[in-house]
Amino acid sequence: MGDDTTLGTVVLGLEGFALREATLVDGEVCLAVETVGRRPGCPDCGVVATARDRRTVQVRDLAIGGRPCRLVWSKRIWRCREPLCPTATWTERRDDVARPRHGMTERARTEVCRQVGKLGRPVAQLAGEYGVGWQSAMHAVTDHGVPMIDDPARTAGVSSLGVDETSFLKASYLRKRRTTFVTGLVDLNRSRLLDIVPGRAGSAVTDWLEGRDEPWLSAVERVALDPHRGYFNALVGGLDAPTVVVDAFHVIKLANTVVDEVRRRVQQEQTGHRGHAGDPLYGIRRILLTGAERLNDKGQARIAAGLAAGDPDAEVWYAHMIKEQLRSVYRADGLGQATERLEAFFDDVAAVAIPEIRRLGKTIRRWRTEVLTYFETDGLSNGRTEAINGLVKRIKRIGHGFRNIDNYRIRLLLFCGGVNWQDHPTAHIRRRSPRLIA
Ligand SMILES: [Zn+2]
């Protein structure tokens, strides 16, 4: 038996196995293998076992030479000869190679997890490639992925925390279902998604923080968040006096929403219907949200023409101006200038009786301190959170919409949660070997 062990170990990569036969069946590589080595002791009494029988088990393994592969493992059944021993017979096991009832080798399952988790491939695709059901493939992802996700090292050392809501299921997925939200927690320094929790209430964040230990909590110095009181209270209550920045991206988004709202209202008042192609304001709905500094002369002229035709009381114009004013706060050169610009913004908000703008002014005023803190934290923002949201969307697309939030969470954290994938180091192949040339 001896030499085969080495061959088995090298070619199969399975310590203690021997390769007996390799056949090609319907384009699939079938490897007949068995364990080699000394007879084991009885697990109960330790008496050396005697061979009784064999049983063949087939498991899917990693592909070989581009072909699907199955291990045909001839398992030994051992018998204990000790008359007083309660154990009569047992089948050999190698849980490091393949666990009972998994249908796949552990290394194949690890690979399925890597492909789905690290590379973001669809579970169904891997299930197809390995000839297993979707559930088996997803179990492989869960079994191998969860320990990596739960590794405390993954979430260690966070000093800047971002909190952001993201939609989980779009309402259109099924008509009946409302859009549900999850809250994402992000390490802003290292751009990794720490976790997602269901809902967008402050309690979701509080509960998550309660799961961290004291050193973790006290290491968080700064937080960036959506302008959302629930998040604010949870973070200030759960952390040790953090510096709070309301996220610049979301502040601008609020202003953009106001431009949209005013435009829709004026549009309705002027035309008596919702925006149609051909309506002057509808035609400039997107360009109104574009940063003014990014518009060329043609863009400016389009806005001017659209407003001249559809905005007789200059309400949309005012909303647009206010939005640009708020944006200019973030381009300020330092806290002093930012404060001046923000005050000018408040003055201009107060100068008109446009309800949408008044509301925006009120909201921003409530967050005045946290808006300006941006300038004391080197511009801490959820910009990276937004980048992660992009990845979130990608995973959602791949998953064709998720219904199960646990699976969604696992896949997201494996993809952008800073998981430490321990891949095999691969040596570069030299196309010519110097020794052979000589
Ligand atoms: Zn025994």
The verdict on residue 424 lying in a domain is: no
Helix axes 106-117, 123-130, angle to 10 degrees: 150
Q: Distance from the CA of 49 to the center of ligand 1, in angstroms?
A: 8
Q: Distance from the CA of 9 to the center of ligand 1, in angstroms?
A: 30
Q: Distance from the CA of 331 to the center of ligand 1, in angstroms?
A: 79
Q: Is pLDDT at 3 greater than 70 in this prediction?
A: no
Q: Distance from the CA of 84 to the center of ligand 1, in angstroms?
A: 8
- What tens digit of pLDDT does each residue of 313-369 get? 999 999 999 999 999 999 999 999 999 999 999 999 999 999 999 999 999 999 999
- Higher-confidence residue of 151 and 392: namely 151
Specify whether 142 is located in the same domain as 73. Answer: no
In percent, the amount of the chain with pLDDT more than 90 equals 61
Tell me what the pLDDT averaged over the chain comes to. Answer: 88
Q: Distance from the CA of 94 to the center of ligand 1, in angstroms?
A: 19
The verdict on residue 252 lying in a domain is: yes
Q: Distance from the CA of 41 to the center of ligand 1, in angstroms?
A: 8
Q: Distance from the CA of 114 to the center of ligand 1, in angstroms?
A: 41
β 50-64/28-35 pair status = unpaired
Q: Distance from the CA of 56 to the center of ligand 1, in angstroms?
A: 24
The verdict on residue 430 lying in a domain is: no
- What tens digit of pLDDT does each residue of 110-119 get? 999 999 999 9
Q: Is pLDDT at 417 greater than 80 in this prediction?
A: yes
Q: Distance from the CA of 37 to the center of ligand 1, in angstroms?
A: 19
Specify whether 339 is located in the same domain as 391. Answer: no
Q: Distance from the CA of 45 to the center of ligand 1, in angstroms?
A: 4
The verdict on residue 63 lying in a domain is: yes
β 160-169/180-187 pair status = antiparallel
Q: Distance from the CA of 95 to the center of ligand 1, in angstroms?
A: 21
Q: How is residue 36 annotated by DSSP?
A: -
Specify whether 328 is located in the same domain as 356. Answer: yes
CB 342 within 8 A of CB 335: no
pLDDT band at 11 (very low <50, low <70, confident <90, very high): confident
Helix/strand/coil (H, E, C) string of 114-130? HHHHCCCCCHHHHHHHH
Q: Distance from the CA of 215 to the center of ligand 1, in angstroms?
A: 51
Residue range 257-281: mean pLDDT, rounded: 92
Distance (Å, rounded) from C-alpha 107 to C-alpha 357? 59
The verdict on residue 33 lying in a domain is: yes
Residue carrying the six token digits 């954290």: 413
Specify whether 9 is located in the same domain as 60. Answer: yes
Q: Is pLDDT at 438 greater than 60 in this prediction?
A: no
Q: How is residue 103 annotated by DSSP?
A: S
The Cα angle at residue 423 between residues 420 and 426, in degrees rounded to 5: 145
CA distances, 55 to each of 39, 65, 150 (Å): 17, 28, 37
Q: Distance from the CA of 38 to the center of ligand 1, in angstroms?
A: 16
Q: Distance from the CA of 106 to the center of ligand 1, in angstroms?
A: 29
Q: Distance from the CA of 28 to the center of ligand 1, in angstroms?
A: 40
Specify whether 257 is located in the same domain as 352. Answer: yes
Alpha-carbon dihedral sign for residues 162, 122, 179, 172: positive
- What tens digit of pLDDT does each residue of 68-123 get? 999 999 999 999 999 999 988 999 999 999 998 889 999 999 999 999 999 989 99
Specify whether 243 is located in the same domain as 259. Answer: no
Structure tokens, 283: 């035609």
Q: Distance from the CA of 15 to the center of ligand 1, in angstroms?
A: 26
Cβ atoms within 10 Å, residue 65: 6
Residue 4 has a pLDDT of 54
Q: Please choose, from the candidates 155, 166, 98, the residue with its C-alpha nearest in 3D space to the C-alpha of residue 132.
A: 98
Residue 100 has a pLDDT of 86
Alpha-carbon dihedral sign for residues 339, 344, 347, 352: negative
Q: Distance from the CA of 97 to the center of ligand 1, in angstroms?
A: 25
Q: Distance from the CA of 71 to the center of ligand 1, in angstroms?
A: 30
Residue 332 has a pLDDT of 92
The verdict on residue 437 lying in a domain is: no
Using the 3D structure, point to which of 101, 134, 164 is the last residue of a domain: 101
- What tens digit of pLDDT does each residue of 298-309 get? 999 999 999 999
Specify whether 63 is located in the same domain as 12. Answer: yes
Radius of gyration of the chain (CA): 31
DSSP 300-315: HHHHHHHHHHH-TT-H
Q: Distance from the CA of 75 to the center of ligand 1, in angstroms?
A: 19
Q: Distance from the CA of 48 to the center of ligand 1, in angstroms?
A: 8
Q: Give the number of residues written for the chain.
A: 438
Distance (Å, rounded) from C-alpha 124 to C-alpha 131? 10
Specify whether 142 is located in the same domain as 286. Answer: no
Q: Distance from the CA of 44 to the center of ligand 1, in angstroms?
A: 5
Q: Distance from the CA of 35 to the center of ligand 1, in angstroms?
A: 21
Specify whether 300 is located in the same domain as 340. Answer: yes
Which long-range contacts does 291-300 make (Cβ < 8 Å, 24+ apart)? 291/324, 291/327, 292/324, 292/327
The verdict on residue 358 lying in a domain is: yes
The verdict on residue 436 lying in a domain is: no
Residue 378 has a pLDDT of 76
Cβ atoms within 10 Å, residue 429: 6
Expressed in angstroms, the distance from the first to the final Cα of the chain is 37
Q: Distance from the CA of 51 to the center of ligand 1, in angstroms?
A: 13
Q: Is pLDDT at 273 greater than 70 in this prediction?
A: yes
Q: Please choose, from the candidates 296, 316, 297, the residue with its C-alpha nearest in 3D space to the C-alpha of residue 306.
A: 316
Residue 163 φ/ψ region, left for φ over 0, alpha for ψ in the -120 to 50 degree band, beta for the rest:
beta
Q: Distance from the CA of 83 to the center of ligand 1, in angstroms?
A: 8
- What tens digit of pLDDT does each residue of 225-251 get? 988 899 999 999 999 889 999 988 889
Which amino acid, residue 122? P
Residue 171 has a pLDDT of 47
Specify whether 371 is located in the same domain as 394. Answer: no
Which amino acid, residue 45? C
Q: Distance from the CA of 47 to the center of ligand 1, in angstroms?
A: 6
Q: Is pLDDT at 1 greater than 50 in this prediction?
A: no
* CATH number of the domain to which 196 belongs: 3.30.420.10
Distance (Å, rounded) from C-alpha 361 to C-alpha 345? 8
Widest Cα–Cα separation across the chain: 102
Structure tokens, 57: 């088990």
Specify whether 327 is located in the same domain as 411. Answer: no
Q: Distance from the CA of 80 to the center of ligand 1, in angstroms?
A: 5
Q: Distance from the CA of 46 to the center of ligand 1, in angstroms?
A: 6
User: Which domain does 126 fall in, by range?
Assistant: 103-150
How many domains, the chain? 4
Q: Distance from the CA of 50 to the center of ligand 1, in angstroms?
A: 11
Residue 316 has a pLDDT of 96
Distance (Å, rounded) from C-alpha 69 to C-alpha 105? 11
Specify whether 243 is located in the same domain as 387. Answer: yes
Q: How is residue 377 annotated by DSSP?
A: T
CB 374 within 8 A of CB 368: no
